[in-house]
Structure 1
Amino acid sequence: MERFVVISGCSGGGKSTLLAELAKRGHAVVDEPGRRIVKDELQREGAALPWVNGMAFARRAIELALTDRVAASRLEGWVFFDRGLVDAAAALQHLTGEPALATLGGVHRYHKRVFITPPWPEIYVEDAERPHGFDAAVAEHERLIEAYASLGYKVVMLPKTRTAQRVDFIMRALET
């Protein structure tokens, strides 16, 4: 859908902060499937964690991203996604070699522009939900750029600047 906008890219690059600012400005937002899965799995001592069972995690992220799209179709105006279906499919493909990205084809599309948060070591932090290092985040970032480009999306790198300026950048880009 042309009104479904993905913010993807480097883990720890400020995506969640951007989504919070977009919500503050009155836009509909969808939280990252991975973060929600990790919180749930940690609470119930489950194993579908990226550092325990990456395949189970990626499959669950795909299911949640599909559910998010259905729920978002009921919302009005721009809907901003903190990651999405392509991110989950790219993770599954990376882990298993399955052609998960190819199965997306022309279905479940997002806006033609995908906004990417670049690696930004000055703001990167590890936490209980993100226990991987910066090098792993950069490798994931590079895979995501390749995945989105391979599906015909225009990859737009976000500037390393204050959150409000990044949101203004996104909104201006969506006007063109």
Structure 2
Amino acid sequence: MQKKIVLIGGPGTGKSTVLNELQQRDFYCMPEVSREVTLEAQKKGIQQLFLTDPLLFSKMLLEGRERQYKEAGKHSADLVFFDRGLPDVYAYMEYTKDPYPDYFKEKCNEYVYDHVFLFKPWEQIYISDNERYESFEESKEIDLFLQKAYRELGYRIIDVPFGSIDERVNFILNWLKLNA
């Protein structure tokens, strides 16, 4: 039975770096969709779609994450790692206080993950770039909304300790092995 594992946390917490390492170790991984959506919008002249039209951006993210979830289910891998999940979209909409359709939350109940690993804000590794416009303070606030959304949906959240990339990856893999 395939296990779907989602890595969550505010911007700049090390999720993508850990996901890349998991991929290097031959695990099946689904990358973050928001960078792809942001880059597509920038090609069309919209610098920050999330800031310009948060609802459209979020709909595109939800669709992309749903597509990834379905694609993962067709793969033979025992473990699939996701850089963010569908509930992240709902959490971000709550964070921005923008109205959103009910189906955003309904989709979160339709596509369920087996384990949720949280990467807490870590100032030492935080870097902003062209696709990550949030400050470290905003990353901390987003972290709270993510935790609230996932807990509200019934998930148990496993905190990933600070450490090297190898230490973080090994923590996740060891936890999964012990809790198989």
Residues 1:126 and 2:136 aligned together: no
Query: For the residues of structure 2 that align with 1:58 and 1:143, how far apart are their CA atoms?
Result: 15
2:131 maps to a residue whose letter is E
TM-score by length of 2: 0.89
Query: For the residues of structure 2 that align with 1:48 and 1:96, how far apart are their CA atoms?
Result: 19
Q: Determine the structure 2 residue equivalent to 1:50.
A: 50
Q: Determine the structure 2 residue equivalent to 1:160.
A: 162
Deviation at 1:59, TM superposition (A): 1.0
Instruction: Write out per-residue CA displacement over residues 35-89 of structure 1, whole angstroms, 9 at most, x where no aligned residue.
Output: 1111211122247711221111111100111111111112222110000111112
Q: Determine the structure 2 residue equivalent to 1:35.
A: 35
Give percent identity, aligned residues only.
Answer: 29
- Return 5+ residue gaps in structure 2 as ranges: none
1:85 maps to a residue whose letter is L
Instruction: Write out per-residue CA displacement over residues 121-159 of structure 1, whole angstroms, 9 at most, x where no aligned residue.
Output: 111111100112111111111100011111111111111
Q: Determine the structure 1 residue equivalent to 2:5.
A: 5
Secondary structure of 2:74's aligned partner: coil
Aligned residues: 175
Secondary structure of 2:21's aligned partner: helix
Match among 166, 171, 174 for residue 173 of structure 2: 171
- Return 5+ residue gaps in structure 1 as ranges: none
Query: For the residues of structure 2 that align with 1:24 and 1:66, how far apart are their CA atoms?
Result: 24
Considering only aligned residues, what root-mean-square deviation do their CA atoms show, in Å?
A: 1.9
Q: Determine the structure 2 residue equivalent to 1:82.
A: 83
Secondary structure of 1:50's aligned partner: helix
Residues 1:21 and 2:21 aligned together: yes
Query: For the residues of structure 1 that align with 2:46 and 2:160, how far apart are their CA atoms?
Result: 34
